[in-house]
Structure 1
C-alpha cells in the first residue's frame, strides 16, 4: 500500500483538474483552460454550467486556489523527503515493499497508477534513484509477450527504449518479467520473485 500522503496527492490532483475543467478562475494559472470560458460571461457558452449561482462560482474558484496551494506544499514536502521523484510528466514513488510482480502491479493500479516504466534515459535514472535509495532490485512495467525474447510495455506496445544488462535478456520464455538492478540496467526475471514496488502516476 502507498502512504496516506501519496493517496492524497493523487486524489487531490484529480479533483483539482476535474474542478478546473468547469471554470476558469483568477489565481489558478497554468491548469486546464476551456476555450471560450472567461468569467461569468463565459458561462453562457458552457451549457453544463448554465444556472450556476455566482456565489457558487466564486466559492468553487476559492476552493481551487486553496487546493493548488496545498498540492504545491504537499509536493514540496514529499519531494524534499524523497518520497516522490518528478520526471517529465511522471511522478514516481515507492511504498518500500518487496512483493511478486502481480502484487506490485495491483498495488500501483489500486492507487491510480501503474508500475514504473522507463521510456527514456532520464526516466530510467529517476527510477534508479529510488532503487538506490532502498538498495533493492525493482520490477518494471514491462513483460515478455507471446514471442520469446520480445518484451513490451503493459499495454502491449513495443519498447522504444531499453537498458538491458550484458547478455540479457536470456530467459528464452521462462523469465517473463523485468527487474532493474542497482546500477540501472535491466534483467529478465521470473515473476514470482519479491522485488521493490515502484509506481508511476
Structure 2
C-alpha cells in the first residue's frame, strides 16, 4: 500500500506527465503554421515505460476511488483530506501528517469545514485542527502562524484564556479551544 506521501508525489507526477503528453497546446503539439513540432515527452519514453505510467495512473485512480467510497479521503477544492482513524495528542497528530507530506486539516471556508466534519462524523470522534493559540491570549492562527480569516467557534468559545492552546472540532462542526495533550482524531490535508 502506498503511503500518503508516495500517493501525493506519484499523483502529482502523473498529472504533470498527463499535461505534457496529452493536453492541447502542451509541448509536443504543432505550433503556429510553419513552426516546427516540439518533441513530446512520450517521444522520449520507451514503450514499456509509457505503458507502465499509463497502468500506474489507472491503478491510482482506482485506489483513489476506493478510498473515497470508503470515506478515508475526501477531496474539497484543491485539498485532499485523509484520516488514519487514530487518536493522538496534538504534536503526534501534526507529526503524523507532516511525515505523510501534509499538515493537520485547517478549514479556510465553510465548504472545507463541512468536509472535515464529514470525517469527524464518520469516526464519531472530535478532531484536532491545524490551529493554535498565538503569543497573545485568545488569538488563534494556523500552523504557519497566519491569522485566521474563517472561524466556526462554538458558542462562548474560545474561552481557555491561554490555558487551552489547541483547537478541536466538535461533531456538529463547531470549534473549541482545548489542551493539546488530549487524544483526538488525526485528519490531514494535502
Same fold by TM-score, threshold 0.5 exceeded? Answer: yes
Q: After TM superposition, give the deviation of residue 58 of structure 1 in Å.
A: 5.0
Structure 2 residue aligned with 1:13? 11
Is 1:42 the counterpart of 2:31? The answer is no
Aligned to 1:156, the other structure's residue is in SS state coil
Is 1:171 the counterpart of 2:160? The answer is yes
After superposition, what is the alpha-carbon deviation per residue over 1:107-159, rounded to whole angstroms, capped at 9, x for unaligned?
00000011011111111011011111111110000011111111111111111
Structure 2 residue aligned with 1:25? 21
Of residues 62, 67, 71, the one that matches 1:78 is 67
C-alpha separation in 1, matches of 2:27 and 2:59 = 25
Is 1:110 the counterpart of 2:99? The answer is yes
TM-score normalised per structure 2? 0.85
Aligned to 2:81, the other structure's residue is in SS state strand
Indicate if the aligned counterparts of 1:91 and 1:200 stay in contact, CA closer than 8 A: yes
C-alpha separation in 2, matches of 1:59 and 1:144 = 53
Structure 1 regions of 5+ residues with no counterpart?
none
C-alpha separation in 2, matches of 1:60 and 1:25 = 13
Is 1:65 the counterpart of 2:61? The answer is no
Indicate if the aligned counterparts of 1:25 and 1:61 stay in contact, CA closer than 8 A: no
Aligned to 2:119, the other structure's residue is in SS state helix
C-alpha separation in 1, matches of 2:120 and 2:55 = 34
Indicate if the aligned counterparts of 2:4 and 2:101 stay in contact, CA closer than 8 A: no
After superposition, what is the alpha-carbon deviation per residue over 1:64-116, rounded to whole angstroms, capped at 9, x for unaligned?
43333222211111111111111111111111111100000000000001101
Structure 1 residue aligned with 2:150? 161
Cα-Cα RMSD: 2.6
C-alpha separation in 2, matches of 1:8 and 1:77 = 17
Of residues 120, 125, 128, the one that matches 1:136 is 125
Deviates more, 1:139-148 or 1:59-68: 59-68
Structure 1 residue aligned with 2:86? 97
Aligned to 1:139, the other structure's residue is in SS state strand
TM-score normalised per structure 1? 0.81
Aligned to 2:21, the other structure's residue is in SS state coil
Indicate if the aligned counterparts of 1:25 and 1:39 stay in contact, CA closer than 8 A: no
C-alpha separation in 2, matches of 1:131 and 1:74 = 22
Indicate if the aligned counterparts of 2:131 and 2:143 stay in contact, CA closer than 8 A: yes
